[in-house]
Chains A and B, each alone.
Chain A
Amino acid sequence: MRATALLTVIGLVGSLGLGILVGVGRTASTRWIRWLFAGYVEVFRNVPLVVQMFFWFFAAGLGSLPAAVIGLVCYSAAYVGEVVRAGLQSMPRGVGDAALSLGLSPLQAVRHVRLPYALTITIPPLTNEALNVLKNTSVAMTVAVAELTFRTQAINAYTFRGFEAATAVTLGYLGLSLVLVLTATALQRRFDVARRVG
């Protein structure tokens, strides 16, 4: 469970960072940068997470934890990137233009004006992605303990133990999801208040 929480946190931070890069990249004014990131999104969204993790583990020869983390981050970043892109594109054009005409460089405009806006309005879909990261950590187990699973499944299948373990783990996931949802609701409320006061 601690491993799950740890993996979720690393996965969240990593995929948020990479996802923001992807989202900004997909709205870049240079065409080849846009295409590059669009390609990234399509590739990583259309290949199952297990396959990606196995690729990093077996083909790239990484250890099980790095393989799980890299697989999870690359996969989730494609989804986060799409959310961030939608957020950026939902912003009225004038806001970005105003920032540029005030003398901010394109990068500064993204950092100080467009991203804060996009991230605030995309809190609900980003919460969804966070929940997905949490649930997807379970796939990491297939890399870490792939061997073990295959060996124990036959023994465990017809005993009570397997069933009970599965139930306990499911309850654990439910608990963790609840924590995430509550955090997100609090975040949402805080930013709404901030916007109304500001």
Chain B
Amino acid sequence: MILQNLPYLMRGLRLTVLITVICMTASLLLGSVLALLRRSALGPVRVGATLYIETLRSTPLLMVIFWFYFLLPLLTGRSLEPLVAGIVAMVAFQSAYVAEIVRAGIGSVKAGQLEAALALGLSYRTAMRLVVLPQAFRNMLPAFVARFVALFKSTSLLYVIGVVEFFRAATIVNSREFRSMEIFLFVAFVYFCCGVTASVVGAWLERTLATEDLRLQASGAA
């Protein structure tokens, strides 16, 4: 029964993966910008960014999805693909969390690093880009992996606005076949495998980057 519906389910899974990748990329960018805005010297910018981050972090994702699904058609004045509304909502939501990770990551780099870079004559922007952010990124990696898995799992919530991703595809098959036990165990198994794979890859990435760091130190280059 699972085998018969496999092509259909796999189409859903492909969309799930696609959504995850798009949202992760976009929220990494937007989240980094938000984190920098939160450190801005301008008061209003700082307050605005803080307000945005805290509001979205204390709202359930499901509500954010509904919000964008209802709000975006009002703003643009025309109907919107659920998929687009869903992706926008996920990015808006995830980037608030990413911003906090980036902020903590930047905080984890010692102040002396930035001061040294500035003293060497680099501009603030160049110092951030070449000195602080690369170091911060390595410290942020574990948190990013956790976020990636969370994002992957949370795409299943998009089914409420009718995006036929993996989970929605499964519920559709379920209402056709009435073999709930098999279907939902299969779905759980697939999510589990993907999540564990992502965690393992993340751990490997961490190890690789850490050894690179050690190698540099050993050769005296760091």
Contacts and interface: CB of A to CB of B under 8 A. Distances in A.
Given A163-B74, A170-B63, A170-B67, A50 B161 contact: no
A50 B156 contact: yes
B160 interface: yes
B188 A50 contact: no
B61 interface: yes
A17 B167 CA distance: 30
Contacts of B194: 46
A interface SS class: helix
A109 B2 CA distance: 49
Given A47-B153, A153-B162, A170-B67, A59 B181 contact: yes
Nearest to B156: A48
Contacts of A149: 160
A131 interface: yes
B62 A139 contact: yes
A197 interface: no
A34 interface: no
A59 to B, nearest CB: 4
Contacts, number: 109
A188 interface: no
Contacts of B184: 51, 54-55, 58-59
Interface string B68-101: 0111011000010000000000000000000000
Contact of A43 (B157, B159, B192): B192
B66 interface: yes
A51 B156 contact: yes
Given A54-B171, A59-B184, A47 B59 contact: no
A50 B180 contact: no
A157 interface: yes
B60 A166 contact: no
B174 interface: yes
Chain B interface size range: 35 or more
A51 B188 contact: yes
Interface string A136-161: 11110110000001100100111010
Interface string A101-118: 000000000000000000
Given A54-B171, A138-B62, A163 B185 contact: no
Given A46-B195, A55-B188, A163-B74, A174 B55 contact: yes
B154 A141 contact: no
Contacts of A177: 58
A173 interface: yes
B191 interface: yes
B196 interface: yes
Interface in B139-177: 149, 153-154, 156-157, 159-162, 167, 171, 174
Interface in A39-79: 42-43, 45-52, 54-55, 58-59
A47 B170 CA distance: 14
A50 B55 contact: no
A162 interface: yes
Contacts of A178: 58
Contact of A59 (B67, B185, B191, B199): B185
Contacts of A98: none
14 contacts: A46-B199, A47-B188, A48-B153, A50-B157, A54-B184, A59-B183, A137-B60, A138-B63, A149-B160, A153-B69, A153-B162, A156-B70, A157-B73, A169-B66
Given A142-B159, A162-B70, A174-B58, 12 more contacts: A47-B192, A48-B157, A50-B159, A51-B156, A59-B181, A136-B60, A137-B60, A138-B60, A156-B70, A166-B66, A173-B58, A173-B59
Interface of B: 55, 58-63, 66-67, 69-71, 73-74, 79, 149, 153-154, 156-157, 159-162, 167, 171, 174, 180-181, 183-185, 187-188, 191-192, 194-196, 199
